[in-house]
Amino acid sequence: MTRLPLAILLLCCFFAVTYFGGGEIGASLECGSGGCLVSASSSPISATLGPLLFFALVFLPRRSVRGTDAIPGIFKKMVALFSDLFLVLMGFTAISAVPMLLVEYSHTGVFQWSFARDFTRWTDGLLTLFSVAVTCLAFLLLRAGALRTGSSSVGQYVSGYLVVSEQGKVNWKTFLSRSIWAGLYLWFWPVYFFYRLIKGQKEHSWDIRSGTKSVTFKYS
């Protein structure tokens, strides 16, 4: 499969899972001066279909590619980031909300696939954190799997680039180093991008520090 059909398929799968979840899936805890709002929503179809579509898209056969000498721009990086984020949200948001729904059932005695209330319980923060942790872990493993096998993640393939290592095969140490440095630089992203603009630096600092390189690709 080439890039454009995969991008279209990803969007269709994302909207399908969201649709079967009633338009809103996941667990959330929002607090302000007026109090806290706790909500969770899922559905049997979304919780089943999401993970299945996630793994189907990850392992879907693609056309073989070869790297070039060109460095992808920030737009390609953003497209890849949001595409992978959509993929992970589609795959695991619905199922990660189920523990909060089960805990709510233990308190009310009535199981519902969606609820919202304006008061909190001591478990709400932990369960919301669990839902976020599942999403973050899935995203990291998605990127790690692509980097360690020398291929692109779904988002990177849609965007048209891959990450290669100067030492050949990427090990876990290199992946963790790249992830940590990327997180630190992007935490202060306005300063970082201003610094890159002043320096005229084409490669990202986390690639330089971890011995990796992002390059665009062509079909073999």
Residue type, 17: V
What SS3 class is residue 41?
strand
- Distances in Å between the Cα of 196 and the Cα atoms of 187, 201, 212 are 15, 5, 18
- For 200, the domain range is 3-219
Neighbouring residues of 115: CB distance < 8 A, sequence distance ≥ 6: 39, 40, 41, 101, 104
pLDDT of residue 89: 92
What would the two tokens of residue 161 be? Answer: 């680039």
Report the residue count for the chain.
220
What would the two tokens of residue 151 be? Answer: 């291929």
Neighbouring residues of 165: CB distance < 8 A, sequence distance ≥ 6: 147, 174, 211, 212, 213
- DSSP for 179-208, written as a single string: HHHHHHHHHTHHHHHHHHHHHT--S-HHHH
In a 13 Å sphere around the CA of 169, the CA atoms on its Cβ side amount to 5
Specify the DSSP element, H or E, that contains 87.
helix 74-96
Phi and psi (nearest 5°) for 132?
-65, -40
CB 155 within 8 A of CB 87: yes
| Model confidence pTM above 0.85 | yes
pLDDT of residue 145: 87
pLDDT of residue 207: 83
Nearest Cα residue to 201 out of 217, 185, 187: 185
The pLDDT tens digits for 49-74 are 999 999 999 999 999 998 888 888 87
pLDDT of residue 153: 93
Q: Could you give the number of structural domains in the chain?
A: 1
What SS3 class is residue 76?
helix
The pLDDT tens digits for 14-30 are 888 888 877 778 898 88
Below-50 pLDDT ranges, the chain: none
What SS3 class is residue 58?
helix
Residue 38, classified by CB atoms within 10 Å of its CB into exposed (0-12), middle (13-18) or buried (19+), is buried
Residue 88, classified by CB atoms within 10 Å of its CB into exposed (0-12), middle (13-18) or buried (19+), is buried
